[in-house]
Structure 1
Amino acid sequence: MHGELSHELEVGLPASVVWEVYGTLELANLVGKLLPNLIEKIELVEGDGGVGTVLLLTFPKGTPGLTSYKEKFVMIDNEKRIKDTDVVEGGLLDLGFSLYRIRFEIVEKDADTSIIRSTIFYELADEHSANAFLVNTQAVAKIGEVISQHLLEKQANA
């Protein structure tokens, strides 16, 4: 079983400003700080924010099916403003997923508006198809909302 789910959020910020967060380790830093109920802790395991960077994400107690997992930045395209991260250890891989990839794409709508497009690609062994409910866009939607709000507040206070 395989598929993809997407979420789009339009924000009143230039794509370059949003990409400064999404294209770097700043996203992990802000998510760890602003969303502790979603992801309890994010630790840098290796790398500097470029391709090959590995993060350890620890989830709050009670998160369905998850305690922690490692994700790796497998593709970053600064021109197209796209970043792919794959779960490479633990978490969803322990629940029958052979692929769980999150793609963040920052699309320029006009000079002052952009779209945060978050897509989840997954492959799940048929015998674990009951775990398909774990694939949803709620977390990436919440991250987009909180990060864009943070950036808008930062811009207003500048």
Structure 2
Amino acid sequence: MGVITFHFDVPSTIPLARMFKAVVLDAGNLLPIALPQAVKSVEVLEGDGGPGTIKLITFAEGNPYKTAKHKVEALDKENFTYCYSIIDGEMLGTTFEKITFEVKINALPLGGSMLKCTNSYFTIGEVDITEEEINTRKEKASAMYEAIEAYLLENPDAY
């Protein structure tokens, strides 16, 4: 098994606490609203939202994937960090054992926040991911956070 890890940052005009609540604490409700073209539903299969919680993500029609199971690995509300893994679903294929996403949200000095993201792909055997594939994955993740930011800007009373 190998691990391919990459980091990227996503700046946001949304304040730290509001962004954390939207992206982490209420993502199950927000994702189908902010990204209806991508996410149909998020259902908690077991747990209370904390570590060990298993969620089933059902993707919208037209996506290459139908479902994914996420497992919450860590949640630290005081330090605004969150870690979850995709543990089952078509996107793992025969290439990945799991994919782990870590997010730390920091306040920016002049307002807003910075999402510091680390994605780790745990491979089955030796797998080579090209720089182009990594950039595509970064762009997709950034687009998700940007869609959430756009929703929050359009809905100032949400969260």
The TM-score range, normalised by the shorter chain, is 0.7 to 0.9
Corresponding residue for 1:118? 117
1:98–1:123 Cα contact (<8 Å) kept: yes
Q: Please list the CA deviations of residues 105-157 of structure 1 after superposition, one character each: whole Å capped at 9, or x if unmatched.
A: 21111262211223211121236657994871233212211111222233389
Q: Quick check: 1:155 aligned with 2:150?
A: no
- Match of 2:83, SS state, is strand
Counterpart code for 1:50: G
User: After the TM superposition, which residues 91-110 of structure 1 pair with which residues of structure 2 at under 5 Å, given as runs?
Assistant: 91-110=90-109
1:5–1:136 Cα contact (<8 Å) kept: no
Q: What runs of 5+ residues in structure 2 fail to find an aligned partner?
A: none
Q: What runs of 5+ residues in structure 1 fail to find an aligned partner?
A: none
Q: Distance in 1 between matches of 2:155 and 2:126?
A: 47
Q: Quick check: 1:143 aligned with 2:138?
A: no
User: Normalising by the residue count of structure 2, what TM-score does the alignment of the two structures yield?
Assistant: 0.81
1:104–1:117 Cα contact (<8 Å) kept: yes
Counterpart code for 2:27: L
Counterpart code for 1:31: L
- The percent of aligned pairs where both chains have the same amino acid is 23
Q: Quick check: 1:37 aligned with 2:47?
A: no
Q: Distance in 1 between matches of 2:7 and 2:129?
A: 20
Q: Distance in 2 between matches of 1:124 and 1:21?
A: 30
- Match of 2:141, SS state, is helix
Q: Distance in 2 between matches of 1:154 and 1:92?
A: 32
User: After the TM superposition, which residues 35-74 of structure 1 pair with which residues of structure 2 at under 5 Å, given as runs?
Assistant: 35-64=35-64, 66-74=65-73
Counterpart code for 1:59: F
Corresponding pairs, count: 156
Moved more, 79-88 or 93-102: 93-102
Q: Distance in 2 between matches of 1:41 and 1:32?
A: 6
**Post-superposition offset of 1:85:** 0.6
Counterpart code for 2:57: L
2:68–2:90 Cα contact (<8 Å) kept: yes
Instruction: State the superposition RMSD in angstroms.
Output: 2.8
Corresponding residue for 2:28? 28
Corresponding residue for 1:17? 18
2:28–2:41 Cα contact (<8 Å) kept: no
User: Normalising by the residue count of structure 1, what TM-score does the alignment of the two structures yield?
Assistant: 0.81
Corresponding residue for 1:90? 89
